[in-house]
Structures are given as structure tokens and as C-alpha cells.
């Protein structure tokens, strides 16, 4: 099979028939073998009934229904798990992503050799202050921290080589950082394609202001996991050393100051009255806690069943 189109959806009953028909038209025109996997993330409208109706008309439409709303990451995870196409393409169900982009994305994976291609909505039809500007700042921050040069990390329209989505685990709110997870798994050939972004035709956006809190927290999580999951002491140990050094320097300063006062016959204040005493004490305690955190992380990492789960691409025996 050439292509699996994975579509997470939540309360999108109006757009689904048009989207399925559009995808089918593109696939037929380009002679692609394909499947459409729609994951109903606990919709409260008639989205699932629409999916079932579409399946009766086109057996290439497949559906997964959640009992409740689990989030986009869970929907993508389940869609990736059952996808069979050589190229897996994800898109949102609200018709803001154009199926006409599928042939170009497919070509970049199959012929140009990319492992992952992310869409870039260079011209967006979203509110400036609630979406466009926060998105620009978010993408700048992610580029700076991860080193992945994508202008639109969170674009729902992406294409993947099949072995990429079979090698990563999407959970929590990590759908925003799939390129980071892919890079961590060893897939570094990540590309970008300018795509058409359309105005929402039906319904309302499903993402609220909470994304401004979840996004940065998830970025910290994925950055830590990707860099230090198998060596937590390298992270906590460095912080512990820095804090202990602060405490040592503060203690040395206190000692020098006290010796100088004694040498010159100056009746000084008690060491415990100096702010440097509390800086030294607090820094050393925090440093020790960081070291303990690192040791605990190492124990957990070495006891984990997946501690030697490495991605092997080829074997010669």
C-alpha cells in the first residue's frame, strides 16, 4: 500500500464527507493505493455515525472510536499502530489542511529520501494575537532548543516514512514534538514543505488557552527525555556540582572574612548572621538533592525493561 492517511477528529461531522471525498479524488488522480484511518476522539456529535456511513460507501475508510476524549496524541498513536502504508500522512479533519498536498509530500518521502516532512503554513488564516504570534514565538523557541529547523512544528499536515511512526511512541501532548521524537529515534533527514492553509469552514477550534501552559511543559519534558533519559546523572549531576560549588565559594568567602577580622582584631558579627552562610547551606543542600535525584534516576533507568531498546536499522548477519 502506498499511503495511509491518519485523521484524528473531534466533533467534525460536517467536514468529514467532504474531506473523505477530496482525499479519494486525489488518490484516484495519482493512482495511489491508500487507506483513510479516522480516529474519533470521543466526539459528542454524530461524527462516528458519519465515519460508519463513509465506510459503507468506501471500504478504504477505516475508523477507530474512543469511549471518551483522550487527546490528539492518543488518536495519532492508535492510528500509527494500525497504519499499513509505506508513507503515512497526518492531517486535521477541519478542512484547513488540503489533501492536494498529498502527492508533493509523498514524493518528498519516496523520491527525495526524507524520513519526515512537516507542513509549513506560511500564510495562516488564524487570529493574529491568539494563534499566529504565539505560534511564531513557540516555533522560534523549539528551533532554538532542539536544533530542528522547522517553521511550523505543530502543523497537523505531515508525512512520515512508515518505519518512523513504528519507531516512536506518541503520548500525553507530544504530538507537537513528533519531529523531536523522530530525531531522537535516529531519523535526522527531516524536511519541510510550504502548504496551503484554508480558513475553517465548519465548527470551531478545539484548542483552548491551556495549550500555552501545556506546550512549554511538554517541550521541557521531551527535551529532557531525548537528551538524558538513559543518563539522568549527567543532568542532575551537573546541576548538583554547580550548586555545591556555589556553596563552597560562599563558605570560603565566609572563612576568609572571619580570618581577616580576627587578624586585625575586629569584633565581627556571627557567621550565622551573614547571608552568605545561608547561601552556602542552601546551595549545598540543594546540590545534595540534585545528586540524589540523579542517583535515583540512574537506578530507575538501569532497572527499566527498555534500557537496551535501541533502534537498529540494518543487520549484516
- Tell me which of 17-31, 64-78, 112-126, 221-235 is least confident: 221-235
Q: Is the pLDDT of residue 57 over 50?
A: yes
Of residues 142, 169, 171, 145, the one with CA closest to residue 155: 142
- Cα separation, 17 vs 54, whole angstroms: 7
Q: Is the pLDDT of residue 198 over 50?
A: yes
Q: Using an 8 Å Cβ cutoff, are 243 and 292 in contact?
A: no
- 533502534: which residue's cell? 311
Ranked by mean pLDDT, the top range of 160-164, 223-227, 295-299 is 160-164
| Average pLDDT for the chain | 85
Q: How confident is the model at residue 144 (pLDDT cuts 50, 70, 90)?
A: confident
Query: According to the model, what pLDDT value does residue 202 have?
Result: 73
Percent of the chain with pLDDT over 90: 48
| Mean local confidence (pLDDT), 37-49 | 94
Query: According to the model, what pLDDT value does residue 316 have?
Result: 45
Q: Is 304 left (phi over 0), alpha (psi -120 to 50) or beta?
A: beta
| Mean local confidence (pLDDT), 160-174 | 88
Q: Is the pLDDT of residue 268 over 50?
A: yes
pLDDT digits (tens, 9 = 90+) for 212-227: 566 666 777 766 666 6
Query: According to the model, what pLDDT value does residue 310 have?
Result: 47
- Tell me which of 27-36, 59-68, 181-190, 232-241 is least confident: 232-241
Cell numbers at 257, concatenated: 572574612
| Mean local confidence (pLDDT), 301-317 | 55
- Rounded to the nearest 5 percent, the helix, strand and coil shares of the chain are 50, 10, 35
Q: Using an 8 Å Cβ cutoff, are 189 and 110 in contact?
A: no
Contacts of the segment 135-142: beta carbons below 8 A, 24+ positions apart = 138/215, 141/216, 141/219, 142/177, 142/180, 142/219
Q: How confident is the model at residue 62 (pLDDT cuts 50, 70, 90)?
A: very high
Q: How confident is the model at residue 317 (pLDDT cuts 50, 70, 90)?
A: low
Q: Of 111 and 200, which is predicted with more confidence? A: 111
> Which CATH code is given to the segment(s) 3-228?
3.90.550.10
Q: Of 127 and 246, which is predicted with more confidence? A: 246
Q: How confident is the model at residue 315 (pLDDT cuts 50, 70, 90)?
A: low
Q: Of 210 and 46, which is predicted with more confidence? A: 46
Q: Is the pLDDT of residue 155 over 50?
A: yes
| Mean local confidence (pLDDT), 69-93 | 94
Amino acid at each position: 500500500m502506498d499511503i495511509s492517511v491518519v485523521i484524528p477528529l473531534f466533533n467534525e461531522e460536517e467536514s468529514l464527507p467532504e474531506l473523505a471525498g477530496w482525499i479519494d479524488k486525489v488518490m484516484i488522480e495519482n493512482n495511489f493505493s491508500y487507506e483513510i484511518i479516522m480516529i474519533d476522539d470521543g466526539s459528542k456529535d454524530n461524527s462516528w455515525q458519519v465515519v460508519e456511513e463513509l465506510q459503507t460507501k468506501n471500504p478504504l475508510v477505516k475508523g477507530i472510536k474512543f469511549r471518551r476524549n483522550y487527546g490528539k496524541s492518543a488518536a495519532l498513536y492508535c492510528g500509527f499502530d494500525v497504519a499499513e502504508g509505506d508513507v503515512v500522512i497526518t492531517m486535521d479533519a477541519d478542512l484547513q489542511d488540503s489533501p492536494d498536498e498529498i502527492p508533493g509530500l509523498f514524493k518528498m518521502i519516496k523520491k527525495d529520501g526524507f524520513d519526515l516532512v512537516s507542513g509549513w503554513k506560511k500564510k495562516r488564516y488564524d487570529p493574529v494575537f491568539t494563534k499566529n504570534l504565539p505560534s511564531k514565538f513557540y516555533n522560534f523557541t523549539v528551533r532554538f532548543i532542539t536544533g530542528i529547523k522547522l517553521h511550523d512544528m505543530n502543523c497537523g499536515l505531515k508525512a512520515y516514512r512508515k518505519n518512523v511512526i513504528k519507531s516512536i511512541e506518541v503520548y500525553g501532548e507530544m504530538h507537537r514534538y513528533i519531529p523531536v521524537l523522530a530525531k531522537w529515534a535516529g531519523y535526522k533527514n527531516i524536511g519541510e514543505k510550504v502548504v496551503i492553509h484554508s480558513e475553517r469552514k465548519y465548527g470551531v477550534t478545539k484548542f483552548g488557552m491551556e495549550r500555552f501552559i501545556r506546550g512549554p511543559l511538554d517541550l521541557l519534558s521531551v527535551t529532557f527525555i531525548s537528551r538524558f533519559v538513559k543518563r539522568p546523572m549527567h543532568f542532575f549531576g551537573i546541576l548538583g556540582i554547580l550548586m555545591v560549588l556555589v556553596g563552597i565559594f560562599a563558605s570560603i568567602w565566609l572563612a576568609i572574612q572571619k580570618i581577616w577580622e580576627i587578624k586585625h582584631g575586629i569584633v565581627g558579627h556571627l557567621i550565622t548572621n551573614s547571608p552568605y552562610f545561608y547561601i552556602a547551606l542552601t546551595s549545598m543542600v540543594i546540590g545534595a538533592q540534585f545528586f540524589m535525584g540523579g542517583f535515583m534516576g540512574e537506578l530507575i533507568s538501569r532497572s527499566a525493561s527498555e534500557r537496551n531498546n535501541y533502534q537498529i536499522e540494518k543487520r549484516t548477519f
